[in-house]
Structure 1
Amino acid sequence: MLHFGVFSLIMSEVSVFIVVLCTLVCSGHAQAAVLTIEPSWSSYFIGEFVTFKCDMNEGRDTDWYYTINKDGRDFVRYSEYKVYTLEMRSTDHSAYRPWATLTAGTTIIPVGGSVTLTCSVQSSDGWKYEWFRRTQTTYEGKIRDQQNRDIRVSQGGIYSCRGTRGNPVYYTDISDHVNIKKTSEFSNLV
């Protein structure tokens, strides 16, 4: 006997990004079905990927068929695959990538000291960060091994950052640049 498992994707566009509401449903015939969403962030941006998995909590998956419904319509018709990875899309041509914001505690490094730089992405979770530095005479390069939201720098330069998350990796737009200057022992800015 074949049973049919159904899970629905209900999306609502909210300003720039799409929010997957907590009313996702995963149900089966007299079984306790479990829907998992990866990654499990509170909001998703256009261009990001989200994976849905419906598990019927039985030893054999071969007796189940699945479908994805969006807004009451079949998005994926009956299939034996219980895992679906979908790209978040929008018909709204004004949708754009989120941006990173770079802030500095101060823009002048004291003699022998450092300053803290903070990178953030508008009200969402799951981000790692890439940091970049250049000078007036060098090209912009990535600062290695820095994925933290906050970093301490002791070198002058022009800094920027961006957020990354997911697999495949999704990138925010790069932040505005912040010029950090270093004070010399003779009180001249270098």
Structure 2
Amino acid sequence: MCPNPILFSVSEGCPKAVLTLQPAWAQIFIGETVTLSCEVEGGSAGWRFKQYRGRREEAGCSDQYSSRYGDSCTISKARYNHSGVYWCESASGQEHSNAVTLTVSNKRVILQTPPQPVIEGDSLTLRCRVRDGYTATWIRFYKDNKELQSRAGTERSVDHVSKSNEGSYKCRVWWRTRSSSYDGVSAEVRVSVRGRFILGVWWRM
């Protein structure tokens, strides 16, 4: 059966810039390094990084922990103030990229996801991490506070994402050091799924 197209009007064309993260995780531990790249059709000359933090807009890649090389901004030893919504925009401010939310955490356990939303039909990987490089003895993943089927490893993957995968996710970890053991739960992360845009049509398979 052919998919049913849902037509709608679009007031603007496709974005001319795409902002990505490397590593491609929207949640990182404090002190880690992340690179934001602004890929602009026709070149990034004159484009700038912007950040929305604390209810205000400000220049991104502008402190002593950030350095820009061409179309990339590397944040070394990330701090709390690096958390926020990032995008890149033209000098005139009339053109801008997609927005990416970065969260910097000092919790013992974090759940890492790619930047949201995830495109319907793409793959999705969730990764549960313990700070300071400790190795987890066991890990449990939860969606909307319901435990998912247990699997070995620190990651959960979905090959073809659909709207049914939307929800709030978290993970619980138990790990041991030489002297004691710990039990920790990550903050919840909201996963949202967006339909795939093809030639002015949203196709739902």
Return the structure number with greater relative CO, CA threshold 8 A, min gap 6: 2
Structure with greater helix share of residues: 2
TM-score, normalization by structure 1: 0.38
TM-score, normalization by structure 2: 0.35
- Name which one, 1 or 2, has greater alpha-carbon Rg: 1
